[in-house]
Amino acid sequence: MKRALITGITGQDGRYLAELLVSKGYQVFGLLKGQANPKAQMIHTEIPQVELLAGDLTDLTSLVRVIETAQPDEVYNLAAISFVAMSFQQPELTANITGLGVLRVLEAIRIVGGSQNNPIRFYQASSSEMFGKVRETPQTEMTPFHPRSPYGCAKVFGHDITVNYRESYGLFACSGILFNHESERRGHEFVTRKITNAVARIKLGLQNELALGNLEPQRDWGHAEDYVEAMWLMLQQDEPDDYVVATGETHAVKEFVDKAFRRAGIDDYEQYVRVDPRFFRPAEVDLLVGDASKAEAKLGWHRRVSFDDLVHRMVDHDLKVESELVSRG
């Protein structure tokens, strides 16, 4: 039975990845931070096979202890301060967790080691935010980075240190440069879920306005369930490498808004949308679109969920959830 440790187990990707690995027969461990973390119960209920271990990305000794206990074949580092807007408010915390956290996990792996025949394999959740003010379109594994937020800068460090540990110490370390990936489990702070939740509530008469920031930025949006499969595939290869994971399509925020309202049967939606400068960022990433040919050719990875399906699934889900809340009173 293979063993895997996931940091960021309580997040959207952590939960999908844990389910995937459990379905493949892995014993899955999740790193859980904080005392009495309220999200622990959610994991116990949703994926009872997962064993949670206490630790923190800012505490190297805790990571060493967790890796000694879990004895993983594979470590997936998904934990991060992942909300770009928040990284402008708390840049130092972001650098510490999203950036230095990667170094600490790599060090813990190096210290604990794993058996000589079976060294621990490492996956780093890198991000298209590293491309920022893009130097070329579409973006590939070779596109230079130009991050536009403390989050993007921290992710560049995480990516570079992963490559560096692979080259310096021969670690089986992979970096997945994942473009935006969303789902019915996406946090409400991210624009897609903020939109689909508001659309559902407006449809049901529970809210009458959706306040958003910049509607022009374009993103390459896929479904998270497809993307966690790419993470797993990277660690099953003969050699470690870095891969872009993306759909190759880009859509503006306002297009997502349009499709989401229309899915709920609201065509005259402009009256509900208000642009609020509070949601603008000090520096924006205007356009992202990834070229996943390498992942497709080498990993055999293909996205299954289209942009339309993604929007429809999220809106339908939120309509169901909000309707149930209404009927429960």
Interactions with ligand F7E, residue window 71-130 (CB under 6 A): 82, 84-85, 127-129
Neighbours of 98 (CB within 10 A): 25
Nearer to ligand F7E, 191 or 233 (CB): 191
Binding range to ligand F7E, per CB under 6 A, among 42-50, 213-221, 224-232, 242-250 = 213-221
Q: Could you say which DSSP state residue 73 is in?
A: S
Q: Which of 3, 39, 110, 281 binds ligand F7E (CB under 6 A)?
A: 281
Neighbours of 294 (CB within 10 A): 17
CB of 219 to ligand F7E, least distance (A): 6
CB of 41 to ligand F7E, least distance (A): 24
Integer Cα distance of 164 and 240 in angstroms: 12
Q: How many CA atoms lie within 13 A of 32 on its CB side?
A: 20
Interactions with ligand F7E, residue window 130-189 (CB under 6 A): 179-180, 189
Size of the site for ligand F7E (CB under 6 A): 23
- Is 191 among the residues that bind ligand F7E (CB under 6 A)? yes
Quick one: which of 170, 131, 165 has its CA closest to 290? 131
Nearer to ligand F7E, 97 or 212 (CB): 212
Nearer to ligand F7E, 31 or 253 (CB): 253
Reading the block at residue 27, the tokens are 């014993």
Tell me phi and psi for residue 74, to 5 degrees. -135, 140
CB of 214 to ligand F7E, least distance (A): 5
DSSP letters spanning 169-232? H--EEEEEEEPPEE-TT--TTSHHHHHHHHHHHHHTTS---EEES-S--EE--EEHHHHHHHHH
Nearer to ligand F7E, 72 or 152 (CB): 152
Active site residues: 127, 129, 151
Binding site for ligand F7E (CB under 6 A): 82, 84-85, 127-129, 179-180, 189-192, 194, 212-214, 217, 219, 253, 279, 281, 284-285
